Chains A and B, each alone.
With several copies, the nearest count.
Chain A
């Protein structure tokens, strides 16, 4: 059995993501790749187009604040209980990033369309939302199975890169993500899939009927890097909870540019 899968370092992993790429990431509550994002910032990534699957949080705010982002397509950017995403909000005000506003099920649907290899997929709702006025890529057609029944068609999205954190990877490149199947759909839809993992599983996860249901098969995975606590300061399933004190610290520090720079120096650029 052969495969292009490679186990690399976190820095090698993010070196595969070129400036200007479309980079899709899950939200703060779902296997967020914080360690890889710090490495991306350290390597000076620029002009990334982020895709929030389906929303964005700490990782996106960090990249935006670091000047790595030119555009973002997402259904929301928020630090959740820690409030607005301060660097996103500042960048929108300053006009330094382009925002394509979406709504969560449109993002899921667009990725499902890519997963299925179809050019579009229909979705109920959305008609009458101003989102539609600003998304010329979305179309409303008359339901061919209905009668005077307008319905939204969302075009497929195949992100250049998917980046997320997972509890386990095995040497064949199978990745265990548990019930967070949105990263599986993302992996199926993306052209290149890069993963950080808490630990290496010694064996082949697909041979275990109990582990297989939570896996993404190696056929979709291009490279992985081991990164213990790689979601920190965000949580990782039942392995560890979010670091609430740190996230609160970030939310405070990032309120202004100076505070954000201080945060970057202390927690991103200084860390290996």
Chain B
């Protein structure tokens, strides 16, 4: 393996480190078991980074081709979540609104949609059953981050009498990190990625959110983190995310 020092930090590495910081954050629900979807290499790498930093945590990669952890078929992920055995999940959305409602179905007036997205997958269940959800969407635009989603695949908050184990913890985009305050159903700007201003975020975000007096820059991955990412994390990622690894860290020498 070549010495990773001196290579520039990739945007993906920043996002991985930002998500890892959210996972590490003290919380009523410590993360002992995270589940990550097949199309989510950045959240997967963030979980692996935490593991290599010493966080005792199980990671289940859904639809993993090798050593898939599930032996009861497709329902097992949802059953596991129902049993309270999954602490952290990741969701995205074709649209995400200021109350953390997510839309995976389409824009326009359902069912006569304008743009059709794939569909809700398990979001309408996992958002309730898992104590912590980190929302992740690289595209940060008014197209994606809207005032009110056209279709609620899964609601960000629920009335007090509706069974729900948790709420969204945060929203990570390609430009910033928002914390989510469930009691007010509102996002608060937590940090700005390098080179991005609060004014940029206001301009590119379709929903209202709170801006604290002092918004820090999203911390860069530390040299130790970069070494882990470019070494053991990358090695573990190759099986399920070869394209991602090649794009971010370069093709491996044969």
Is A101's CB within 8 Å of the partner chain B?
A: yes
Check: A196 CB closer than 8 A to any chain B CB: no
- A103-B67 CB under 8 A given contacts A128-B152, A130-B152: no
Q: Chain A 173-195 against B: per-residue CB contact (8 Å), 1 yes, 0 no?
A: 00000011111110011000000
Of B80-88, B169-177, B222-230, the one contacting chain A is B80-88
| Residues A181 and B69 in contact, CB atoms below 8 Å apart | no
Does A247 touch B at the CB level, under 8 Å? no
Stretch at the interface among A35-43, A79-87, A225-233, A263-271: A79-87
- What does the 1/0 interface line of A64-96 toward B look like (CB < 8 Å)? 000000000011111011001100110011010
What is the 8 Å Cβ interface bit string for chain A, positions 1-28, against chain B (1 contact, 0 not)?
1110000000000000000000000110
The winner among A75, A80, A102, A213 for most chain B CB atoms within 10 A is A75
User: A30 an interface residue at 8 Å Cβ cutoff?
Assistant: yes
Instruction: Report the separation of the CA atoms of residues A250 and B182 in the bound assembly, to the nearest whole angstrom.
Output: 43
Size category of the B interface is 35 or more
Mark contacts of B61-74 with chain A using CB atoms, 8 A cut-off: 1 yes-contact digit, 0 otherwise.
Answer: 00101111111111
Q: Which residues of B contact A149 (CB under 8 A)?
A: 161, 163
Q: Which chain B residues lie closer than 8 Å to A189 at the CB level?
A: 83
Evaluate contact between B129 and A241: CB separation under 8 angstroms. Answer: no
The reply to whether A81 and B82 contact each other, CB–CB distance below 8 Å, is no
Cβ-defined contact, A104 with B71, below 8 A: no
Taking a contact as CB atoms closer than 8 A, the residue among A124, A128, A131, A206 that contacts B129 in the complex is A124
Which residues of the partner chain B approach A117 to less than 8 Å between Cβ atoms?
79, 81-84, 129
Asked if B111 and A134 sit within 8 Å, CB to CB, the answer is yes
Q: Are A241 and B75 in contact (CB under 8 A)?
A: no
Do B125 and A55 touch across chains, with their CB atoms under 8 A apart?
Answer: no
- Smallest CB–CB gap between A237 and chain B, Å? 9
Determine the residue in chain A with the shortest Cβ distance to B104.
A76
Q: Is the CB of B162 within 8 A of A150?
A: yes
> Which residue of A is nearest B241, CB measured?
A81
The answer for the CA separation of A214 and B59 in the assembled complex, in Å, is 21
Set B71, B119, B154: member contacting A129, Cβ < 8 A: B154
Contact A75 B120 (CB under 8 A): yes
Q: Is A48 an interface residue (CB 8 A)?
A: no
Min CB gap A207→B, angstroms? 4
Chain A residues with CB below 8 A from B196, complex form? none
A101 lies within 8 A of B120 (CB): yes
Rounded to whole Å, the gap between the CB of A120 and the closest CB of chain B is 13
- For A142, the closest partner residue in chain B by CB is B161
Report A-chain residues with C-beta under 8 Å of the C-beta of B123. Answer: 103
Q: Give the residues in chain B near A103, CB-CB below 8 Å.
A: 120-125, 153
Q: With A and B bound together, what is the CA distance between A88 and B119 in angstroms?
A: 11
* Interface positions of A (Cβ within 8 A of B): 1-3, 26-27, 29-30, 53-55, 74-78, 80-81, 84-85, 88-89, 92-93, 95, 99, 101-106, 108-109, 112, 114-118, 123-131, 134, 148-151, 179-185, 188-189, 204, 206-207, 212-217, 219-220, 235, 241
- B residues in contact (CB < 8 Å) with A: 33, 38-39, 51, 56-60, 63, 65-76, 78-85, 104-106, 110-113, 116-129, 151-155, 158-159, 161-164, 243
Q: List 27 A-B contacts (CB under 8 A).
A: A2-B58, A3-B58, A30-B74, A76-B118, A77-B118, A80-B38, A80-B39, A92-B106, A92-B116, A93-B113, A93-B116, A101-B120, A103-B125, A104-B121, A117-B81, A125-B163, A128-B154, A129-B124, A129-B155, A181-B71, A184-B72, A184-B73, A185-B73, A185-B75, A189-B83, A217-B70, A217-B71
Additional 20 contacts, C-beta under 8 A, given A117-B81, A126-B125, A149-B161: A1-B51, A74-B119, A76-B120, A104-B122, A114-B83, A117-B79, A124-B129, A130-B152, A148-B161, A180-B73, A180-B74, A181-B72, A181-B76, A182-B75, A185-B75, A206-B67, A206-B69, A212-B71, A219-B85, A241-B65
